[in-house]
Amino acid sequence: MSTFLAFRKAAFAVLRPEPIGRISRSALSPLFQQTRTMKDARSHPKNGQIPYDIIQVKDSDGTLHHAQKLTKLLESVDTTTHVVRLISHDPPIVRVLSQMEDKIRKVSMKARRKVREEKRHILNKEAQMSWFTAPQDFEHKVHKIREDLEKGDVRVDIIFNPKPKVRGPTREEMMEQLAEVTNKLSDVSVEWREKEFLRGTARMFLQSTVKKERLLPTQEEVEEMAKEDVERQERQLQRKKKKEQSLQKEKEVNRGIWSDTDSTL
């Protein structure tokens, strides 16, 4: 009996169907089955780098055309003047752009990416002050700290140090001076950490509340940058072409010299 139960358990383990995971829309439709990897190393590859056999073309007005083979589309596009650029992976959708339009798109995306990266960046600064500073010096230092905070995206650690040969402040005097600094800068900052105290020294942590303005380049500026980039690439290609022509001429001359030598011999 135990042998029979063991056999049945083993049979169920073998015959039990494997759980089916979630199937994407691409896998269900034969039109969008891919024969290569799901994603290329680049998120928006172009031309022959696009890792899909079947794609759809999207016009600038949003019109989405019927699915077709990528190879057939590439045969109808002059890739010396235009680019087939992948804009969506699921389903695979492409745009046919002129070289200038593609360059404008890349410059614009680079500018937006730079703005996003700057938003995540917070500058850390440090300011040194002393207890019982003369009113004029105190106001001057607070003004300098305010200038930093007004720039936005900055944290300023303010450190109060005791003066040599001068009595240290009481805890109450420390709190009064720290509160004065906080009040003077409350319109441009907040304390993001609790104050720290150690042997007559105090440290307070302020973070700017000013939103730093980040402007994206205008359409005219993007087009100008793209034009400069295209012109720079064209100059590089021309230099490369001249170099290749020069090397070719040098090879022809050398071949001529050797042929003359052989005929003499």
Within a domain: 19: no
Split into its structural domains, the chain has a count of 2
Gap between the Cα atoms of 112 and 58, Å rounded: 23
Tell me what pLDDT residue 118 has. Answer: 63
| Residue at which a domain ends, from 118, 145, 170 | 118
Tell me what pLDDT residue 105 has. Answer: 80
Give the Cβ contact number of residue 32 at 10 Å: 19
Enter the tokens of residue 22: 């979630």
Q: Give yes or no: residues 87 and 143 share one domain.
A: no
Q: Give yes or no: residues 93 and 44 share one domain.
A: yes
Gap between the Cα atoms of 203 and 122, Å rounded: 19
Tell me what pLDDT residue 165 has. Answer: 78
Q: Name the 3-class secondary structure at 68.
A: strand
| Residue at which a domain ends, from 208, 226, 251 | 208
| Residue at which a domain ends, from 208, 223, 249 | 208
Q: Give yes or no: residues 112 and 30 share one domain.
A: yes
Q: Give yes or no: residues 29 and 65 share one domain.
A: yes
Q: Give yes or no: residues 108 and 142 share one domain.
A: no
* pLDDT of the chain, 265 residues: tens digit per residue: 454 444 454 444 434 443 433 434 444 444 444 444 444 445 889 888 999 999 999 988 888 999 999 999 999 988 888 889 998 998 999 999 888 888 888 777 777 777 666 666 778 899 999 888 888 999 999 999 999 999 888 899 999 998 877 788 888 888 999 999 999 999 999 998 889 988 889 999 999 988 776 656 676 777 777 777 777 777 887 888 888 888 888 777 777 666 655 555 5
**Bridge partners for 164 per DSSP:** none
Q: Which residues of 109-141 are buried (b: 16+ CB within 10 A; e: fewer)?
A: eebeeeeeeeeeeeeeeebebbbebeeeebeeb
Tell me what pLDDT residue 16 has. Answer: 44
CATH, residue 30:
3.10.20.80
Gap between the Cα atoms of 49 and 43, Å rounded: 11
Gap between the Cα atoms of 145 and 168, Å rounded: 24
Q: Give yes or no: residues 89 and 142 share one domain.
A: no
Within a domain: 261: no
CATH, residue 188:
3.30.110.10
Q: Which domain holds residue 89?
A: 25-118
Within a domain: 98: yes
Within a domain: 237: no
Cβ(157)–Cβ(126) under 8 Å?
yes
Residue from 59, 202, 33, 227 nearest 128 by CA: 202
Tell me what pLDDT residue 18 has. Answer: 39
> Whole-model pTM?
0.43
Q: Give yes or no: residues 179 and 138 share one domain.
A: yes
Q: Give yes or no: residues 36 and 112 share one domain.
A: yes
Q: What is the DSSP letter of 181?
A: H
Largest CA distance in the chain: 106
Gap between the Cα atoms of 177 and 128, Å rounded: 14
